[in-house]
A = this chain, B = another copy of it.
Amino acid sequence: MVVREKILEKIIGCFKRHGARGLDTPAFELTETLTEKYEDTFGLMYDLKDQGGELLSLRYDLTVPFARYLAMNKLKKMKRYQVGKVWRRESPALVQGRYREFCQCDFDIAGEFDPMIPDAECLKIMCEILSGLQLGDFLIKVNDRRIVDGIFAVCGVPEDRFRTICSSMDKLDKMSWEDVRHEMVAEKGLAPEVADGIGEYAQCHGGISLIEELSKDPRLSQSQLALQGLGDLKLLFEYLTLFGIAEKISFDLSLARGLDYYTGVIYEAVLLQSPGQAGKEALNVGSVAAGGRYDGLVAQFDPKGHRVPCVGLSIGVERIFCLVEQKMKASGEKVRTTETQVFVATPQQNFLRERLKLIAELWDAGIKAEMLYKNNPKLLTQLHYCEKTDIPLMVIIGEQEQREGVIKLRSVASREEVIINRESLVAEIQKRLS
């Protein structure tokens, strides 16, 4: 929890640095709000039992609830972040860092703006967070749904199969092209030559030069949608260069993103194994952050179909949490699980009442303090507790101290002891802690 808290603090700090407001939405939504938003994944939602009220399901991500919230409140623009649990009925086999309940950190910009400015900021945020968390080298794959759909169109995929073929393509980061091709042909009934056409494109990745090359590709340039996507990506790369992050971004035609609601730019951040780690056990944590543009989602919840274009990103903290924990284990780094600054101890019997008075004084002064909940604890037990939990300071009261109106202050690490006046206790401790 301490590690988790630190990670969340960094992520939320970045969201606030970019001017986002916090938002919270309920854990469950009306089932109808969630259905049809997640192609091929709809079966993985947790539904609530019909207990005589509305039909409800646990949210699957934070994006659909945000769009629902914007529509319900007729908001035309908002820059918001949300940190919360989402639930997916994944197969019980535990992939590392993959759970049925997990925490997402989302940042989204809703509103009608000039092209690619908010989109570039989302990628900047992903870079800031991944750099800030020091997870090693990373790469953000970028593509555009319109390019994906354009490829499907020019290769001859029937339009009503776009989304299901897209969700097959999304598996390219976990499966080989051969396996994905097999799924497209054998399971989804695509003609082999159509699949091969897709395959030729899907294996391309690069930078601005690839964008320019594809803009002139005689086949792909037949698709107006694809050309729009390529034009926007070109502008995006220009902004990313101004942000100083272009070298972290790769235009990758294999990126498809599973979720149905994307309409434009899509992206996914993956961690790269550094050469030093190559010999060790491979870290397979999949993508740690992803997102994209979804210009049609809010309109689905608005009775009049008013559009509010949106772009955003999602960070899966559990995966990051796994990695940071592994790194800490490897380096032998210890983390304190409490923040206690002072321990109130006694070497003698019958000092409970004195300890209670002392510790209340410390708490009232805002000092983080603990004591043992025993009438007469042994001094050794008290010392061990401080050492085990890394409490830096001990306040010791015994018969002699009480008689003389003083307190013994002990530094747990150095074992140094000083005698101070009972009245100046809080001041002396605050001096030592600052």
Contacts and interface: CB of A to CB of B under 8 A. Distances in A.
A373 B113 contact: yes
Interface stretch (A239-247, A267-275, A421-429): A239-247
A70 interface: no
Interface string A1-38: 11011000000000011111111101110000000000
Contacts of A4: 24
A363 B21 contact: no
A120 interface: yes
A212 B21 CA distance: 55
Identify which of A21, A50, A89 gathers the most chain B CB atoms within 10 Å of its CB.
Answer: A21
Interface stretch (A220-228, A300-308, A351-359): A351-359
Copies assembled: 2
A218 interface: no
Interface stretch (A61-69, A134-142, A336-344): A336-344
B51 A48 contact: no
Interface stretch (A167-175, A177-185, A364-372, A393-401): A364-372
B369 A113 contact: no
A93 B10 CA distance: 40
Given A20-B338, A89-B51, A370-B19, A363 B27 contact: no
A276 to B, nearest CB: 26
A98 interface: no
A44 to B, nearest CB: 10
Contact of A114 (B101, B363, B374): B374
Nearest to A372: B113
A284 B180 CA distance: 61
A70 to B, nearest CB: 16
Identify which of A24, A114, A360 gathers the most chain B CB atoms within 10 Å of its CB.
Answer: A360
A375 B337 contact: no
B27 A101 contact: yes
Interface string A322-356: 00000000000000011110000000000011001
A58 B59 CA distance: 13
A47 interface: yes
A294 B23 CA distance: 35
Contacts of A24: 1, 4
A49 B50 contact: yes
Nearest to A376: B114
A369 B27 contact: no
Interface string A189-233: 000000000000000000000000000000000000000000000
Interface of A: 1-2, 4-5, 16-24, 26-28, 46-51, 53, 58, 85, 87, 89, 92, 101, 109, 111, 113-114, 117-118, 120-121, 124, 128, 239, 242-244, 337-340, 352-353, 356-357, 360, 363-364, 366-370, 373-375
Instruction: Pick the 4 closest A-B CB pairs, nearest first.
Output: A1-B22, A113-B373, A19-B370, A47-B49
